[in-house]
Structure 1
Amino acid sequence: MRSLAEPIARQANAEDDCTGRFWDGRFKAQALVDERALLAAMVYSDLNPVRAKIAKDLPSSNHTGAQKRIVLIQAKKLAAPHR
């Protein structure tokens, strides 16, 4: 595994103009202390396929929680959110 991971890490570090371990400093954990923080994290995560142009909109973003919730709402198996 090391033989496979090391060249990939070196290439990624060169592209990002950084040094050190591959994931070092790139990702951080954050506590979701209330429902508002949880909702913000869900929205951020659900919109990733749209931002990456993998999907044109939320209903077409396969394998996401947003798509599942939309399908359930359309099938009337889940209550639509209150506004």
Structure 2
Amino acid sequence: MQSILARSPLLRQQALRGAQRVQVRLAHGVHGPEQAVPFSFASKPAFATKVAAYLIGGFSIPFVAAIYQLQKSGAGA
């Protein structure tokens, strides 16, 4: 005797779909680092300059804030 879950139409459909699966390989051409990121490496020096400016700007924010707070309080000379 089968259980109620084994006789469920939804489970039967899932079992049938699982038996009919066919593996499909998706190949769209040449893949490389240019396709793995959402931006272009057309000009590497320009890209390097932008990345450096972004990283330096983000790193310097706490230091700029600390200097500003010290000057505002009069503790910084």
The interval holding the TM-score normalised by the smaller chain is: under 0.3
Which is bigger in relative contact order (C-alpha 8 A, separation at least 6)? 1
Structure with greater helix percent: 2
Give the TM-score taking structure 1 as reference length. Answer: 0.25
Give the TM-score taking structure 2 as reference length. Answer: 0.27
